[in-house]
Structure 1
Amino acid sequence: MSTTPAVSPANPATPVELADQLTRAARNLLAHATERELNGKRELPTPCAEFDVHRLCEHLLGTMVASTHAAAKRPLPVDAPRTLTDAPWRAYPPVVDRLVAGWSKPEAWEGDTSFDSHVCSARFAGMMTVMELTVHGWDLAQATGQAFKAEDDVVATAATVAEQIGSGARRSGAFGAELAPAADATALERLLAFTGRSSRR
């Protein structure tokens, strides 16, 4: 998912609320990236056709590192880690700690920044991170046979971003064709359907 517009969508959440959402989304990812859940599963397919579990975990690593630099308004170094040289359950915790700390600063949400090779509002970069962690967190859970839940406010922010980038994300292949959600779909299931993911089998 790399289609980031230059402007931030309207969202009523305050920076403090968004920082809390990002923290919960990141901690939720950690809960699904434990040794117990991932060990021996690196080659399993995921709902993202181009990623097996290992490559999805590397994508999430790259997202979190890039987002941490975006929060600090610093360019992403050419030697920034993009590959996992250790298991996710060992590599992720310090990365998540730095990510959460970076976005916990109120100034992180102000002005413009660079994220995923795009200049955008810092607010949008943080919200994009919430979406990436939520949707790809679900992908990881699905691939490894785990249940996945996300709070409604986290899903609402992720959905706001998904709707903003939807057309471009479908053109690039980051999103699949939109699916019709079930009449009784949860907010998370509606978000997943919008991105082309079927949450019911």
Structure 2
Amino acid sequence: MSIDLTASTQHVAALLSGVRDEHLTAPTPCGEYTVAALLDHIMGFSSAFTWIARKQDEGLSDDPPHARAEDLDPRWRELLPGRLTELGEAWRDPAADEGQARAAGVELPRSVWRLVALNELLVHGWDLATATGQPYRTDPAAVAVTVEFMGQDADDPASRENNPAFGPIVTVPDDAPAIDRAVGLSGRDPGWKP
């Protein structure tokens, strides 16, 4: 189930120029995050997943990430495109999938961390696009992999309850676009409006 993250990093990066200063305090479909907090989260996970791919992750915290609007680097417009590019490039190395890595108190094969990174990119890209009123271009292969990955525990309520990254599944019509299925599996309403 290995997949190149480059297209997904590029699609998220393409949204950044459409984020205006007045968007930063706006709500997003991602729980309590404002757009600024969401950008802080994307900044953080872009670096963390790059370190995992490059096997430079020994210092990653066992604490879950805590994104906050007030922690958003004021240079995010300058820094985040480069971090996203590095993230895509890091996972193009075939050795990136080798071995185990520990982050946020969870140890997983690096090949699974690749899928987690893809999920974060795809879903939080949708969050950012939706919150800022932008169209969201996605890589169909990435969406299909994400739907398969998130759908693995869809029939196991206990597993979902123990995973704070996802809310309760939002059912979407069978003929809904694949991105709506991915968003619904993440616990978001594809029809969310600011």
TMscore range, shorter length: 0.7 to 0.9
**Shift in Å, 1:64:** 0.9
- How far off its partner does 1:102 sit? 1.4
Task: Count matched residues.
Answer: 181
Aligned to 2:38: 56
Q: Select 2:165's aligned residue among 166, 174, 181.
A: 174
- Please identify, of 69-78 and 103-112, the stretch whose mean Cα deviation from structure 2 is larger: 69-78
* 5+ long unaligned stretches in structure 1: 1-10
Percent pairwise identity: 27
Q: Are the counterparts in 2 of residues 110 and 123 from structure 1 also a CA contact under 8 Å?
A: yes
User: Unaligned 5+ residue runs, structure 2?
Assistant: 62-66
Quickly say closer, same or farther: Cα 1:182–1:87, change in 2 above 3 A.
farther
2:179 to 167, 188, 198: 188
**Which deviations, in whole Å up to 9, do the C-alpha atoms of 1:123-177 show, x marking residues without a partner?**
1111110110000100011111112131221011212332346654544443222
Hey, which bits of structure 1, 4+ residues long, moved more than 3 A? 76-79, 164-173
Are residues 184 and 175 of structure 1, via their aligned partners in 2, closer, same or farther at CA, if it must alter by over 3 Å?
same
- Separation in structure 2 between the aligned mates of residue 122 and residue 73 of structure 1, nearest angstrom: 9
Matched, 1:129 2:129: no
CA RMSD of aligned residues (A): 2.2
Correspondence 1:70-149 to 2 at 5 A: 70-75=52-57, 77=59, 83-149=71-137
Q: 1:94: how far off?
A: 1.8
C-alpha contact (below 8 Å) 2:60/2:103 kept by paired residues: no
CA contact (8 A) 1:84 1:91 kept: no
2:17 is aligned with 1:26: no
2:147 aligned with 1:159 = yes
Alpha-carbon distance between aligned partners in 1 of 2:60 and 2:92, rounded to the nearest angstrom? 25
2:108 is paired with a residue of what secondary structure? strand
With structure 2 as the length reference, what TM-score do the two structures score? 0.83
